[in-house]
Each structure stands twice: as structure tokens, then as C-alpha cells.
Amino acid sequence: MHPEINWLQPAEMNLINPFYPPNKLSTLKVLKFGGTSLGSAERIRVATDITRANENCIVVCSAMSGMTNSLIQVAQSWENGETETALSQLETIRHPFDSHCSQLINNSDILSETGAIFNEVASLINGIFIPIYRSRVIALGEQVTSRMVCRYLQHIGNPAVLLDATSFLHLNDHDEPVVEDIARRFSADPLFSGKGIFVTQGFICRNHQGEVATLSRGGSDFTATLVGAALNAELIEIWTDIDGMHNNDPRHVAGTRPIRELSYTEAAELAYFGAKILHPTCVRPAREKNVPVCIKNTFDPSAPGTTIQAETPSTGIRAIAAKDNINILRITSGRMFNAYGFLAKVFEVFRKHRVPVDVVTTSEVSVSVTIEDATGLAPLLEELGQLGQVDLETDRCIICVVGDVLQPGHIACILQHLKVFDIRMVSLGASSNNITFVLPIAQKVEALNALQPVLSHSTDKSLALCTTTGS
């Protein structure tokens, strides 16, 4: 637990701030705009038009598109001791940013405000590299973008208030955000009244040592759902550049459709297995507080998008998603037969080496797991080698089919469409709404296309497809 955090009980919070308990804020919305939705002066105008349609809202801003990638390069050059390169890379970010600002607001106040943040980072870079300050460089994107959005809203007559995410989003000593702590910090913030428009940064936070830190990449979605859950918002809108989550990968498959409604479980699975639209961890806080999440398209604001909420009575096969860069580790051991504690030993090795495991399958004599990153595995492989024979298969992908797969006939139907593929692992039954396959990455696109006919909102229709296409 964070030593500085004073864990108040809800009754005590009530004394501090009249806006607690948060259900008093039931008309509050959280709107998160991603990098492409804030990628130019024109896009920012659209985002602020969407914002102004709401009376009470918190706007969570990502960095303008591309900024975080460029800032990571700046931090890398700094770390390499290449000060000149780092400074000139920073200038390359600053120049277009300034010109977007000037297109929106024709006075120099905004440029001196954001310029001060650029200068602060430049002076850090002029000194020696300090690992704990790396995040201060990377956080610049969200800091300057949120200022630009807030000042523009004020410029066009909305008294928006800028909130500093590092003052309300603190990680505990497991590097995790805690919804109740965020609620407490909001309730103690004199700038936050719950009425009107508030603008803040996604992605950035403080770690348990109190240093500026960041969530994992794409983490602005997570900030939005944490804030939405903490304040018991009416709705969390994730504004992006596509009209919701699609039922298959639109980059590889023609004729995909946005899914209108998803349950929290289905959305979490799809987000994890490659549907890049939503950050995988962001569903949890919304689900815990039962706040609906809506994915909307800033390029087509009136399109319905995808609404994610408590279990919806979904039928049929809902969606297909794939995840690249997967490796299989197979541990085979005679000692596993009839023994207890063998799997615990295997997973203890993964825990010790901090290697996350995705899909797991077991037989009486072997256990197979998938992992994402196959670099630097030698120490892990060596230790696993003491438990049994270890085989590593690289260049694999995961294909996940989401829907009521346990309905009689559905698995047979899915397998029939995959019959020509080289399936290396199958995981079924962990939940009733997904079946996961591991295949060679070279077969991914073909397999996604082969599965497209099983998608249907109607159970009968998807089963009928099997009888007509199968042979």
C-alpha cells in the first residue's frame, strides 16, 4: 500500500467533499480521445465539438498521434548519451505541435505554456541520463496535448478546467492503480467540482515513489475507465478512428462489421487478443462499477459504435481476433504423470523470470504455454529444463473466436472451417465464450478469412453455414 495514501472510508470522504458519494455525479461522462482524434488542428476542432455537447464531462487526452513513439526515441537517445540527437528529435516534435496550436489559438500564451514544458524536458536531456526521469520525457505528449485542448475550449468560450492526472492517478507498490484511491484524490481536489468540462491527460500517473510514471502503451483508455469507475460516471466514451470493435480484423478480411453490443467479458477477450482498438486492461474498472463503455468514431460521430456493458444475452459466434508474435513453450516430463505440484513448479519458474503466459494446455505428460516475447529466454529455458524436456516453437499467432462456442455444433463448425490449417494448440472451456487456437503466423490471414463465414448473430444461421460449406 502507498505509504502516503490515507485510506479513508466512504463516510469520511463525504465530510471532505459534497460530491462524494460519486453516484451524485450520475450525469457525468468520461470522453477519451485517442491520438488520431487529436492529430491535427482540424481533428481537435471535431473533438471539442463532441465535448461541448456534454454539460458535465471529463476529457481524457492521449498525445497527438505519433508523439509518444517519437518521445520514446528522444528518451532512448538521451539514455545513449546522444544529447544533440535527443534535442533535435525533441525539436522535430515541437515544431509541428506549435503550428497546430497556432492554427487553433491566435495568441502566444498557449505557446509559452506548452513551450515551458518542452524547455523543462530539454533541460533534463542536457543533464546526465537518470532512469527514473525517463517517464517525464515520455509524459510530455499527453501534457502538451491536454493543455492545447483545454486552452482551445476556453478560447471558444467554454470554461474548461485542466486537471493534472499525476495528482489523482497514483500507483500502489504493485504498480497498479486503485479505483478507491482515485475517487478519494478527486474528492479532495479543489479544482474538481463535478460540474462543467474538465480536461486531463491519459496514460500518465505517479508511481509509488511519487515519481512521474506512465501506464503501459495505449494506456489512456485505462485512465478513462479508471476515472469513470472512480466517479461512477454515467458513461465512458472512447473516441477513436473506427466505428467500434469489428467482428473480424478489417485490415485482413473484407466485409467485417462493427459489433453493436458486447459484454464486458467478450470485450476484454477481444481487446486482449489483438483487436487493437481498446487497451486490454481497461475493461476491468468499468465492469467492476458497471459503467458502460462506448467506442465511437470521431470521423463519423453519429455512427452507433460498440457499447460494452454487463452481460448481454448474446448468441452465435460474435467475433474473431488474432494476436501476432506468439511462441509456444512445451515442457514434457514423465514426472508429471499422477503427480501433484508439477504445474505449480512450472509456473513458479515463469513467475520468477517475470514472463507472462497467455494460453495454457496440458496433457498427462506435458504442458504447453504461449508467451509473447522470445528474447532473453535462456535463463528461463535453462530452469524449465530441470523440470523436463523443453521445446520452443516460434513464429506463431493466436486466433480467438468469441461467442457462445459451447452451443452444440459450434465447435465442430469452427473446426471444419479450420481443417486445412496446421493447428498447434487449442484452448477451450476456460470460459464458455471463447475458443483459442495457436497456428503458424504465416497462416493467420488465411485462417481469419476462412473463419469469416462462422460469424453470425443467429445460432441457426452459423450452424447452417457449416452444413452447406462443410464436406
CB of 219 to ligand ASP, least distance (A): 5
Distances (CA, A) of 78 to 127, 135, 141, 214, 374: 9, 12, 17, 18, 27
Q: Which is nearer to ligand ASP, 22 or 218 (CB)?
A: 218
Distance of CA 7 to the CA centre of its chain: 27
Alpha helices in 353-443 (DSSP H): 378-385, 410-417
Distance CA 323, CA 311 (A): 24
Stretch that binds ligand ASP, among 60-68, 254-262, 308-316, 360-368 (CB under 6 A): 60-68
Site for Mg ion in 191-220 (CB under 5 A): 218
Q: Is the dihedral of CA 141, 147, 148, 149 positive or negative?
A: positive
Strand-pair partners of 438? 398, 425
Q: Which is nearer to ligand ASP, 58 or 349 (CB)?
A: 58
Is 282 in contact with 291 (CB distance < 8 Å)?
no
Residue by residue, DSSP assigns 298-315 as: TTSTTS--EEEES-----
Q: Which is nearer to ligand ASP, 38 or 328 (CB)?
A: 38
Distance CA 425, CA 400 (A): 12
Under the criterion CB under 6 A, does residue 68 sit at the interface with ligand ASP? yes
Q: Which is nearer to ligand ASP, 142 or 249 (CB)?
A: 142
Say which entry of Mg ion, ligand ASP, none residue 274 contacts (CB below 5 to 8 A, set by partner kind).
none
Strand-pair partners of 402? 319, 434
Residue linked to cell 534535442? 87
Q: Which is nearer to Mg ion, 221 or 269 (CB)?
A: 221
Neighbouring residues of 55: CB distance < 8 A, sequence distance ≥ 6: 27, 195, 196
**Could you tell me how many helices (H) and strands (E) the chain has, helices first?**
17, 16
Strand-pair partners of 399? 322, 437
Annotate each residue in 15-34 with x if it binds Mg ion (CB under 5 A) or - if it does not, as one string.
-------------------x
Q: Which is nearer to ligand ASP, 267 or 463 (CB)?
A: 267
Distance CA 169, CA 135 (A): 15
Site for ligand ASP in 211-250 (CB under 6 A): 217-220
Which member of 58, 61, 63, 165 binds ligand ASP (CB under 6 A)? 63
Under the criterion CB under 6 A, does residue 280 sit at the interface with ligand ASP? no
Site for ligand ASP in 141-170 (CB under 6 A): 141
Annotate each residue in 218-237 with x if it binds Mg ion (CB under 5 A) or - if it does not, as one string.
x-------------------
Say which entry of ligand ASP, Mg ion, none residue 141 contacts (CB below 5 to 8 A, set by partner kind).
ligand ASP
Under the criterion CB under 6 A, does residue 200 sit at the interface with ligand ASP? no
Say which entry of Mg ion, ligand ASP, none residue 203 contacts (CB below 5 to 8 A, set by partner kind).
ligand ASP
CB of 285 to ligand ASP, least distance (A): 15
Distance CA 28, CA 186 (A): 14
CB of 7 to ligand ASP, least distance (A): 28
User: Pairing mode, if any, of strands 197-201 and 57-61?
Assistant: parallel
Q: Which is nearer to ligand ASP, 97 or 437 (CB)?
A: 97
Q: Which is nearer to ligand ASP, 61 or 161 (CB)?
A: 61
Which member of 22, 35, 274, 388 binds ligand ASP (CB under 6 A)? 35
Residue linked to cell 505449480? 344
Q: Which is nearer to ligand ASP, 194 or 218 (CB)?
A: 218
Q: Is the dihedral of CA 262, 248, 403, 366 positive or negative?
A: negative
Shortest CA distance to 302 belongs to which of 62, 50, 32? Answer: 50
CB of 272 to ligand ASP, least distance (A): 16
CB of 74 to ligand ASP, least distance (A): 14
CB of 34 to Mg ion, least distance (A): 5
Residue linked to cell 500518465? 204
The residue whose Cβ lies closest to ligand ASP is 220
Residue linked to cell 510530455? 140
* Angle, CA 363 vertex, CA 360 and CA 364 arms, to 5°: 135
Is 201 in contact with 143 (CB distance < 8 Å)?
yes
Q: Which is nearer to ligand ASP, 216 or 386 (CB)?
A: 216
Shortest CA distance to 140 belongs to which of 124, 154, 126, 129? Answer: 124
The residue whose Cβ lies closest to Mg ion is 218
Say which entry of ligand ASP, Mg ion, none residue 388 contacts (CB below 5 to 8 A, set by partner kind).
none
Say which entry of Mg ion, ligand ASP, none residue 194 contacts (CB below 5 to 8 A, set by partner kind).
none
CB of 380 to ligand ASP, least distance (A): 27
| Phi and psi angles of residue 390, each rounded to the nearest 5 degrees, phi first | -115, 130
Give me the residues that bind Mg ion (CB under 5 A), please: 34, 218
Give me the residues that bind ligand ASP (CB under 6 A), please: 34-35, 62-63, 68, 141, 202-203, 217-220
